[in-house]
Structure 1
Amino acid sequence: MSVVFQRADERLGEFALRTLDPAADAALLHTWVTHPKAAFWLMQDADEAAVVEEYRRIAEHPHHDAYLGLWRGSPAFLAERYDPAHVELVGLYDNQPGDVGMHFLCAPVGTPVHGFTRAVITTVMAWLFADPATRRVVVEPDVRNTAVHALNAAVGFEVVGPVAKPEKEALLSVCTRAQFQAAVTTVEGAQA
């Protein structure tokens, strides 16, 4: 399990992503994906074996990857990267060369840390754009997930519109490298 990306957040410190081990990380992931705050992750009723099966399926998929996010060296979030031409959005939108799909989930905590979720999505986006082949990041959260829509907008996503998926009505949004850099620069300038 190797670290694939690291980012230092000015306020909250070190964030990193490492490859996910479906079996070794299953117990931890199970507590995250079945927590009431993870309702939009659509795994509320999954048992630990189902979590292993889902993340093993992702690990074996040629167009889908999952990573465990670390904050100050401890597991704190989950990130998935996928090719929307082959996973999640096949035939549902105008796929462009360089599009990369993304999901992220913050671990449930007793005491929230101000700005943590924003730092996580910023880390995930910086990781995706660290690959020069990535031109746009594409997301498809549930239309009812207003909290994530606000976060997406804060890091530069532009709403394309609703998309009917088999499991949900999604709000398709895209973010170019320039949109992300402009959003992050604006926030960093405001914090200075």
Structure 2
Amino acid sequence: MSTTTGIGSLTFRPLDPTRDAELLHGWVTHPKAAFWMMQDAGLEEVERAYTEIAADDHHHAYLGLHDGEPAFLMEKYDPAQRELVGLYEPQPGDVGMHFLVAPAERPIHGFTKAVITAVMEFLFADPAVRRVVVEPDVGNKAVHALNAAVGFVPEREIQKPEKKALLSFCTREQFEKAVSA
């Protein structure tokens, strides 16, 4: 669990592809989720995608809860096995991450930064994790700023099959320094 002053409690639970599909469908097809690249996905396609993740030993999805209510999605993956195979030299202790904050009727100032901070705390709670790897779309300036705020350092642009991405890394030390500043 992670609690952020002024924000409330942020917790995680494993995503249930069947139970959570309708909720996720609304999130990933929302205009604000354009970089998630599922804008035209149907409900069945969303459920199928997350059922595949649930069955994958190298990719996991979690529903993020804000004061017990669904509010964000987090995926972690092994970049040596998924997403970045052949695109960079993985190191022991690397974990890949994606996150998506649900559209909100009443946005809370600082919420998205609190979410990415909680996501990083969750990932680094595993002592085997030494570095978090992300590959957001090069055009996603908002997430680049959030990544920088929690210690990510861009390395280079890479071409993935679905997008041009900014490969960035954050070590445990970089994260701790960024959030303590």
Do both share a fold (TM > 0.5)? yes
Which residues in structure 2 correspond to 1:92-103 (within 5 Å)? 92-103=87-98
Residue of structure 2 aligned with 1:14, choices 9, 12, 15: 9
Q: Deviations over 1:102-124 (max 9, x none)?
A: 00000001221100000000000
Unaligned runs of 5+ in 2: none
Amino acid corresponding to residue 52 of structure 1 in structure 2 = E
Amino acid corresponding to residue 132 of structure 1 in structure 2 = P
Residues in 2 aligned to 1:179 and 1:64: alpha-carbon distance in whole angstroms = 24
What is the aligned partner in structure 2 of residue 177 from structure 1? 172
What is the aligned partner in structure 2 of residue 77 from structure 1? 72
Residue of structure 1 aligned with 2:45, choices 38, 46, 50: 50
Residue of structure 1 aligned with 2:146, choices 131, 146, 151: 151
**Per-residue deviation at 1:10?**
1.6
Residues in 1 aligned to 2:180 and 2:61: alpha-carbon distance in whole angstroms = 28
**Per-residue deviation at 1:9?**
0.7
**Per-residue deviation at 1:93?**
0.6
What is the aligned partner in structure 2 of residue 122 from structure 1? 117
Q: Describe the SS at the equivalent of 2:84.
A: coil
What is the aligned partner in structure 1 of residue 36 from structure 2? 41
What is the aligned partner in structure 2 of residue 189 from structure 1? none
Residues in 1 aligned to 2:58 and 2:6: alpha-carbon distance in whole angstroms = 34
Normalising to structure 1: TM-score of the pair? 0.93
What is the aligned partner in structure 2 of residue 190 from structure 1? none
Residues in 1 aligned to 2:52 and 2:88: alpha-carbon distance in whole angstroms = 24
Runs of 4+ aligned structure 1 residues displaced above 3 Å come to none
Residues in 2 aligned to 1:22 and 1:71: alpha-carbon distance in whole angstroms = 19
1:133 equivalent to 2:133? Answer no
RMSD: 0.5
Q: Describe the SS at the equivalent of 1:43.
A: coil
**Per-residue deviation at 1:42?**
0.5
1:163 equivalent to 2:158? Answer yes
Q: Describe the SS at the equivalent of 1:93.
A: coil
Normalising to structure 2: TM-score of the pair? 0.99
Amino acid corresponding to residue 149 of structure 1 in structure 2 = H
1:65 equivalent to 2:60? Answer yes
Number of aligned residues: 181
Residues in 1 aligned to 2:107 and 2:152: alpha-carbon distance in whole angstroms = 24
Q: Describe the SS at the equivalent of 1:24.
A: helix
Percent identity of paired positions between Structure 1 and Structure 2: 64
What is the aligned partner in structure 2 of residue 112 from structure 1? 107
